[in-house]
Structure 1
Amino acid sequence: MTPVQRHTPKIELHVHLEGTVRPALLAALAHGNRLPAPAGPPEVFDDLYAFIATWNAMTTVLRTPRDYRRALLAYAAEAARDGAVHLEPIVDADERLGLAGFADVLAALVDAAAEARERHGVSIGLTPQVCRGHDVDFAQDAARVAARFAGRGVVGFGLSGAEGRYPTTPYTRAVNLARDGGLPFVPHAGEAAGPAAVREVLAMGAVRIRHGVRAVDEPELVAELAGRGVVLDVTPTSNLRLGVARPDRPHPLTVLTGAGVVCSVSTDDPAIFDITLADEYALADRLGVDAATAYAAGLRGMLGDATTRARLVAVGERAYPAGSPARPRLRQ
C-alpha cells in the first residue's frame, strides 16, 4: 500500500453535520444564540451512550437555518482541503427545531450544498434522519418533510439514536413514508447492538448501513453482507474511541473487508473526535484498506444522481489509473 496523500480524492458517506463544527465556530454559534459555549469533549468516552450525551450537549447550540448553513459550508471547505469530492452529511430532525424549523434547515442546507459545490468542487447529498427514542408521530412527520426535498439535494433518510436502548420497529412507517417519497433508507445499526440489529434494518429495506461493524460477531451475517454487496459505512476512530473496536483485536474494518464486505471510510463526528477525513483514510490504510478501495466503496454506496456518479467515476479513474493492481472496478 502507498501512503495516503492528503489531496487524494475521497468520498465520505457517514458524517454528522452537527459533529463537524470545530470549537471556534461552535463558540460563535453559541454566542449568536445567547447560549453558553459548550464544554469540550472528554478524553475518554465510557460507551456510545456517554458519547451521545456529550454530542447532545455540544451540538444544541445550532438553532437556526443560518447556523446549519455555516456548519455545512465550513465542513465542505475543510473536507475539500483533505481531498473530499463527495459528502453525504447527516442532519438530525431534532424535536427542538419543530417541523417548520426542520423544513427551514433543510432548505438552507440545500442552498448551502449548491454553494459548496460551486466554491469547493464537492458534491453534497443530504441524508436527514430521526433518532430512536423520538416521538413516533414526529418521526413520521419529519419523514414527510424530508421527502419534500427528494431530488432537490436530499438523497436518503436515516435512523440513529441510542441503539439497544430504544427499539427500531416503531419507526417502520416513518422509513416507509420517506422511501415512498423517493428517499432510500440508510440507518445506523450494529454499533452498540449486535448482529440482530443489522438483520433488523436489512429486513426494513436498508440500502446501506452506517456502522454495521458488530456483524463481525456472526460470521454467517458477514458472509451474507458480502454476498449481497451491502455497503457498510465504517468510522475507524469512532469505533476505537467508543469501545466498539478493541485495540487488542483486529479492527472490524480489517475483518469485514477481508471477508469481502464493501466498507466505505468516514469520520462520524470529526470535531468531537478531533480528527480529519485524511486522518481516517490514513488509519484505514494502516488497517488494510487503501485509498483506492475506500473510494470505490464510497462510490458503490453513494446515493447521488447519475450525473454525480458519472463525475465521481471520472475523478476516480484519473486518480487511480487503470492497470494499478490496487484499483477496484469503479464502473458498476
Structure 2
Amino acid sequence: MRIELHVHFEGSVRPATLLAIARRNRRPLPWDPRELPAFRDFGHFIEVWNLTTDCLRTAADFRRIVVDYAGEAAGHGAAYLEGIFTPDPALVAEIGLDTVFEGYCDGAAEAEQTHGVIVRLTPEQYRGADPEFGLRVARAAVRFRDRGVVGFGLAGFEGRFPDGPYEPAMRYAADGGLGLVPHAGEAAGPESVRSALRMGAARIRHGISAVADPELTAELAARGIVLDVCPTSNIRLGHATAADHPISRLAAAGVRCSVSTDDPALFGTDLSTEYALAARLGITPEAAWSAGLAGALCDRRTKERLARL
C-alpha cells in the first residue's frame, strides 16, 4: 500500500480528459496535451500549468478530476491521498469560492466511495497573488474542515516574492485547526525552508534544497519534519538529477521523505514510477509509507485505520 501527500489535482488530468473538458468549456489549448512539454524552467512550467487549470471551470470539473485521479492512484496501490488545489481569483470572481471548494470536497467523498481511497484536501494560496485573496481562501478552507480539508499551503515562485505578506492567511488557517504545508526548498535555497519553518509548517512540500545546509538538515531530522519529495518533478524542472538526487542524502541524514507525483499528467509519471525511482535512490517502500503516515494531516482515527493496513 502507498500514501501520496503531494499531488496537484489540476496537474493530474490526463490528456483525453483534459481535451474533453476544454472542448466542453470552450477553452483553447495552445498545445497538444498528449505530448509532454519540455519545460525550459519553472516559469515555463507555471505557464503550462496555468493554461491547464484555465480549462477547469465548474464544480463538476473539480469533482471529476478528484475521482479520476483517485481511481488512477488506487491502481498503483494508494490507500491515502492529500490532494492540492489552487483557487484562481478570476474564476472565483465568476463562480464563487464556495463552488470551487464544494466541487473538490464532493470529489473527495465520491472518490472514497467509488475507489476505496481516502482523500483529504490541502488548498493553497500562491506567492504573487493578492494576499487578501489568499486570506479568503484560508477562510474557506477552515469553513470546509468538516468536508475533508485538513491543510493549507503556499505555492508559487520561491524567492521572487517574500513570504511575509502571505503569513496572515497561514496564521488564520493554523488557528482554524489546519496543518500548514508550504512549498519551499524547491526553486529556492535553504532559507526558503527556514522561512516555512518559521511560519509553523507541519510538513514541507519539496524541501530538497535543505541538503545544502547541514544544520537545517539536522533540524529537520530532529524535529521529524516530513518532506514531500517528488523525484521526477525535481528532475524535469532541473532542480536535481537522477544520478544525484538530494533525497538520498536527506534520508541518510535521518530526514523523513514521503514520495509523490506532484503533477503526474504534466510530468508523464505515476505513483508506481515515483516509488520505483525513490527505491533506486535508497528510499524503500516501507520508509516511504512510514514517512507518509507520519506526515499525513488526517485525524487520529484515520491514521489508526491506515496503520492497520
The TM-score with structure 2 as length reference comes to 0.96
Q: How many equivalent pairs are there?
A: 306
Pick aligned residue for 2:253 from 253, 256, 259: 259
Structure 1 regions of 5+ residues with no counterpart?
A: 1-8, 316-332
Q: What amino acid does structure 1 have at the position aligned with 2:11?
A: G
Task: Please list, as runs of the form range in 1=range in 2, the aligned pairs for 1:7-46 lying within 5 A after superposition.
Answer: 9-39=1-31, 40=33, 43-46=37-40
CA contact (8 A) 2:92 2:100 kept: no
Residue by residue over 1:164-194, the C-alpha shift from the partner in whole angstroms, topping out at 9 and shown as x without a partner, is 2111111010111111222111100001110
Q: Which moved more, 1:47-56 or 1:166-175?
A: 47-56
Instruction: Determine if the alignment matches structure 1 residue 194 to structure 2 residue 186.
Output: no
Per the TM alignment, residue 94 of structure 1 is displaced from its structure 2 partner at its CA by 1.2
Instruction: Determine if the alignment matches structure 1 residue 117 to structure 2 residue 112.
Output: yes
CA contact (8 A) 1:103 1:146 kept: no
Counterpart CA distance in 2 for 1:245 and 1:165 is 20
CA contact (8 A) 1:94 1:102 kept: no
Instruction: Determine if the alignment matches structure 1 residue 298 to structure 2 residue 306.
Output: no
Q: What amino acid does structure 2 have at the position aligned with 1:126?
A: L
SS class of match (1:157): strand
Counterpart CA distance in 2 for 1:109 and 1:145 is 12
Counterpart CA distance in 1 for 2:180 and 2:113 is 28
Pick aligned residue for 2:220 from 215, 220, 225: 225
Per the TM alignment, residue 34 of structure 1 is displaced from its structure 2 partner at its CA by 1.1
Instruction: Determine if the alignment matches structure 1 residue 49 to structure 2 residue 43.
Output: yes
Q: What amino acid does structure 2 have at the position aligned with 1:162?
A: F
Counterpart CA distance in 2 for 1:38 and 1:89 is 26
The Cα RMSD (Å) is 1.3
Counterpart CA distance in 2 for 1:93 and 1:173 is 18
Q: What amino acid does structure 2 have at the position aligned with 1:220?
A: E
Residue by residue over 1:90-120, the C-alpha shift from the partner in whole angstroms, topping out at 9 and shown as x without a partner, is 0002112226622112112212211111111
SS class of match (1:125): strand
Counterpart CA distance in 2 for 1:18 and 1:43 is 16
SS class of match (1:151): helix
Instruction: Determine if the alignment matches structure 1 residue 240 to structure 2 residue 217.
Output: no
Task: Please list, as runs of the form range in 1=range in 2, the aligned pairs for 1:120-269 lying within 5 A after superposition.
Answer: 120-248=115-243, 250-269=244-263
Counterpart CA distance in 1 for 2:110 and 2:12 is 18
Matched residue, 1:275: 269
Q: What amino acid does structure 1 have at the position aligned with 2:245?
A: H
Matched residue, 2:66: 72
Counterpart CA distance in 1 for 2:20 and 2:138 is 31
Q: What amino acid does structure 2 have at the position aligned with 1:111?
A: D
Per the TM alignment, residue 37 of structure 1 is displaced from its structure 2 partner at its CA by 3.1
SS class of match (1:67): helix
Counterpart CA distance in 2 for 1:308 and 1:302 is 10
Q: What amino acid does structure 2 have at the position aligned with 1:240?
A: I
Counterpart CA distance in 2 for 1:44 and 1:164 is 23
Residue by residue over 1:110-147, the C-alpha shift from the partner in whole angstroms, topping out at 9 and shown as x without a partner, is 12211111111100110000100010111111111111
Per the TM alignment, residue 43 of structure 1 is displaced from its structure 2 partner at its CA by 4.3
Pick aligned residue for 1:307 from 293, 301, 307: 301
Counterpart CA distance in 1 for 2:25 and 2:18 is 11
Per the TM alignment, residue 88 of structure 1 is displaced from its structure 2 partner at its CA by 0.3
The TM-score with structure 1 as length reference comes to 0.90
Counterpart CA distance in 2 for 1:136 and 1:225 is 28
Per the TM alignment, residue 44 of structure 1 is displaced from its structure 2 partner at its CA by 2.6
Per the TM alignment, residue 247 of structure 1 is displaced from its structure 2 partner at its CA by 4.0
Per the TM alignment, residue 86 of structure 1 is displaced from its structure 2 partner at its CA by 0.3
Instruction: Determine if the alignment matches structure 1 residue 86 to structure 2 residue 86.
Output: no
CA contact (8 A) 2:83 2:120 kept: yes
Residue by residue over 1:32-86, the C-alpha shift from the partner in whole angstroms, topping out at 9 and shown as x without a partner, is 1111234136543222122111111222101111111110111010000110000
CA contact (8 A) 1:27 1:38 kept: no
SS class of match (1:289): coil
Which one has a larger percent helix, Structure 1 or Structure 2?
A: 2
SS class of match (1:53): helix
Pick aligned residue for 1:285 from 270, 279, 287: 279
